C-alpha cells in the first residue's frame, strides 16, 4: 500500500485523480495557460502579488483577471483541459487574492471541492500536540494508500468544512 506522507504527494495524487476520472474539454488557450500556471506554481506558494507580477500588471491599474479576460478575447484557439482543474484554479485564484496559498491550503481546497468524490476520505488525528491528516478506510479501499501528513493547523483555521476528528465520525460519513 502506497504511503502518502507529504502535501506534495497528496497534491500529485489529487491532480492525477482528476485527470483519470474526467474527460478533457476544449477551453480558450489563455484560460488553460492560466490554469497550468497556477497548478505549476502552487507548490511554491501563491499570493496576489506573485500572480499580478506574472501577468505583468503589478504596477498597473489592470487586474490579473482583466489581463486574462483580455487575452481570451484575443484568441479563438481552443486546447484541452480538465473541468476539475479549471474549477480548482478558480478556487486557487480566489484564495490567492485574499491570502498566501501553500500546498496545505491547496490540498484542503481540493478536499473541500470533493475532488475524490462526495465521500469522506480524510480525518484529522491528534497525536500529542501535533495534528495529522489521516485517511479513512474508504480512502484505503478506493485509493490503495495510507495518508499521514503533519498539519500546521486544524481545518477550522481555513474556514473550510471541518474534517471528522475521529474514526467513528469518519465511518458515519461526517
Please write the tens of the pLDDT for every residue from 124-137: 888 888 889 899 88
DSSP annotation of 1? -
Cα(42)–Cα(68) distance, integer angstroms:
18
Report the DSSP pairing between strands 25-28 and 2-4. Answer: unpaired
Cα(8)–Cα(119) distance, integer angstroms:
22
Answer whether 0.75 is exceeded by the pTM: yes
pLDDT of residue 39: 94
* Average pLDDT of the chain, as a whole number: 82
pLDDT of residue 131: 87
Closest by alpha carbon to 38, among 72, 65, 3, 66? 65
**Residue ranges of the chain with per-residue pLDDT less than 70:** 55-64, 67, 118-119, 153-174
Coil, strand or helix at 88? helix
Cα(139)–Cα(155) distance, integer angstroms:
19
pLDDT of residue 172: 41
Closest by alpha carbon to 149, among 128, 131, 168, 171? 131
First to last CA, the chain: 25
Amino acid at each position: 500500500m502506497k504511503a502518502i506522507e507529504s502535501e506534495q504527494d497528496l497534491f500529485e495524487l489529487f491532480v492525477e485523480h482528476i485527470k483519470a476520472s474526467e474527460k478533457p474539454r476544449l477551453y480558450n488557450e489563455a484560460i488553460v495557460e492560466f490554469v497550468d500556471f497556477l497548478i505549476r506554481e502552487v507548490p511554491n506558494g501563491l499570493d496576489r502579488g506573485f500572480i499580478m507580477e506574472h501577468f505583468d500588471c503589478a504596477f498597473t491599474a489592470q487586474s490579473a483577471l482583466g489581463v486574462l479576460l483580455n487575452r481570451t478575447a484575443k484568441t479563438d484557439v481552443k486546447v484541452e483541459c480538465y473541468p476539475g482543474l479549471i474549477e480548482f484554479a478558480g478556487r486557487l485564484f480566489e484564495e490567492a487574492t485574499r491570502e498566501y496559498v501553500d500546498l496545505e491550503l491547496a490540498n484542503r481546497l481540493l478536499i473541500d471541492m470533493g475532488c475524490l468524490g462526495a465521500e469522506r476520505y480524510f480525518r484529522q488525528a491528534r497525536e500529542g500536540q501535533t495534528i495529522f491528516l489521516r485517511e479513512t478506510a474508504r480512502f484505503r479501499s478506493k485509493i490503495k494508500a495510507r495518508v499521514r501528513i503533519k498539519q500546521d493547523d486544524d481545518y477550522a483555521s481555513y474556514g473550510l468544512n471541518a474534517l471528522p476528528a475521529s474514526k467513528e465520525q469518519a465511518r458515519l460519513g461526517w
